[in-house]
Structure 1
Amino acid sequence: MALRLSAEAMGTFLLVFGSIGAALFAADYGVGSEGTSLGIGFVGVALAFGLTVVAGAYAWGPISGGHFNPAVTLGLAAAGRFPWRETVAYIVAQLVGGAIGTTLLVLIGLFGPDGWLRSAQDGGFASNGFGEHSPGGFGLGAAIVAEILFTAIFVLVILGVTHPSRGTKFAGLVIGLTLTLIHLASIPIDNTSVNPARSIATALYGGPDALLQLWVFIVFPIVGALVAGFCHRALFDGRELG
Structure 2
Amino acid sequence: MPPGTRLPSRTRLARRYHVSEQISRTALRLLVTEGLVEARPGSGYFVRSEPEQFRLCRTDSSSGSGLGELSREVIGTEQERSPAPLSARLRIREGDPVYRTTSRGLSTHLPITLHLSWEPAALTVGTLRTPFDASPDLGLLDRLGAAGHHVDRVIEEVGVRALRDSEAALLGAAPGRSVLVVERTHYCGSRPVETSDLIGAAEQCRLLYKLSLARSQHPAEHRGDP
Work out which structure has the larger RCO, using CA pairs closer than 8 Å and 6 or more positions apart in sequence: 1
Structures share a fold, TM > 0.5?
A: no
**Structure-1-length-normalised TM-score:** 0.24
Find the structure with the greater CA-based Rg.
Answer: 2
From the two aligned structures, give the one with the greater strand fraction. Answer: 2
